[in-house]
Structure 1
Amino acid sequence: MPNESKRLSSAGWADLRHREGAVMNYYNDVANNCTYGVGTLAHLGFCSAEELQRPVSIAQVNAQLATKVRLTEQIVRSNVRDHELTQDQFDALVSFAYNSGESGSRDTFVAANSGNNALVASNMALCVYVHPRDAQGHRLPPRRVNGLVNRRREEAAPFKQGVR
Structure 2
Amino acid sequence: MRMSPAARTRMRDTEKVIRHYYNDMGKDKGNCTWGAGILAHRGVCSEEELARKVSDNEVNKEFDKRVGQAESNVRRGVDRTALTQDQFDALVSLTFNAGCGNARDVYVLANKGDFAGAAKLISGMTSVQINKGGKKKYVVAPGLVKRRAEESAPFQSDSDNERAEK
TM over 0.5, yes or no?
A: yes
**CA apart distance, 1:161:** 4.8
Partner of 2:136: 140
Q: Please give the residue correspondences for 1:7-156 in structure 2 after superposition, counting only pairs within 5 Å.
A: 7-30=2-25, 31-133=29-131, 140-156=136-152
Please, which runs of 5 or more residues in structure 1 have no aligned partner?
1-5
Q: Given that residues 32 and 134 in structure 1 are in contact (C-alpha distance below 8 angstroms), is that contact kept between their aligned partners in structure 2?
A: no
In 1, the alpha carbon distance for the partners of 2:88 and 2:20 equals 30
Superposition CA RMSD, Å: 1.6
Q: Given that residues 118 and 163 in structure 1 are in contact (C-alpha distance below 8 angstroms), is that contact kept between their aligned partners in structure 2?
A: no
**CA apart distance, 1:134:** 5.0
**CA apart distance, 1:14:** 1.2
Number of residue pairs aligned between Structure 1 and Structure 2: 157
Question: Using CA pairs below 8 Å that are at least 6 residues apart, which structure has the higher relative contact order?
Answer: 1
Q: Given that residues 117 and 163 in structure 1 are in contact (C-alpha distance below 8 angstroms), is that contact kept between their aligned partners in structure 2?
A: no
In 1, the alpha carbon distance for the partners of 2:97 and 2:48 equals 26
Matched, 1:159 2:155: yes
Amino acid at match of 2:112: S
Determine helix, strand or coil for the equivalent of 1:45: coil
Residues 109-118 or 37-46, more deviating: 37-46
In 1, the alpha carbon distance for the partners of 2:92 and 2:13 equals 14
**CA apart distance, 1:105:** 0.7
Greater strand share, 1 or 2?
2
Please, which runs of 5 or more residues in structure 2 have no aligned partner?
161-166
Determine helix, strand or coil for the equivalent of 1:115: coil
Displacement over 3 Å in runs of 4+: none
In 2, the alpha carbon distance for the partners of 1:61 and 1:139 equals 32
Residues 11-20 or 79-88, more deviating: 11-20
In 2, the alpha carbon distance for the partners of 1:129 and 1:16 equals 19
**CA apart distance, 1:163:** 4.3
In 2, the alpha carbon distance for the partners of 1:56 and 1:133 equals 26
Amino acid at match of 2:40: A
